[in-house]
Structure 1
Amino acid sequence: MSQELEHECPECGVKTFYRAASTTLHLGKKVKWHCPDCEYGFVQINDIDSSAA
């Protein structure tokens, strides 16, 4: 999995997010992503992310 991801930040617009952490759970691969310019971050588990909630 890559270390960078293009994603929409609600404060900064489209940015390159950086992987802050990752682990494997019984649900699949969990990855935490963070915007480099603000404190916004989201969690992604198997292509489903918390930013859509």
Structure 2
Amino acid sequence: MSLETEHYCPDCESDVTFYRAASTHVHLGEKVKWHCTECDYGFVKINGNVDTSEA
């Protein structure tokens, strides 16, 4: 998995680059924390299926 991804940031109100802050394996799969390079907004993805980012 890459160290950066493009994603919508609700705080910046645009698509920005997020960096991979941390990752670990949990019983559901790989848990990855992403953080915006422009502000302090972050979200978590688990195994690519669970996404805590705002829609």
Residue matched to 2:52: 50
Q: For structure 2, which runs of at least 5 residues remain unmatched after alignment?
A: none
Q: Check conservation: 2:7, 2:15, Cα contact below 8 A.
A: yes
- Amino acid across the alignment from 1:15: V
Q: For structure 1, which runs of at least 5 residues remain unmatched after alignment?
A: none
The count of aligned residue pairs is: 53
User: Runs of at least 4 residues of structure 1 off by over 2 A?
Assistant: none
The CA distance in 2 between the partners of 1:35 and 1:15, in whole Å, is 7
Question: Normalized against structure 2, the TM-score is what?
Answer: 0.88
Query: How far does the alpha carbon of each residue in 1:3-53 deviate from its partner, in whole angstroms, 9 at most, with x for none?
Result: 001100002110010000000111100000000111100000011210147
- More helix by percentage: 1
Secondary structure in structure 2 of the residue aligned to 1:51: coil
Question: Normalized against structure 1, the TM-score is what?
Answer: 0.91
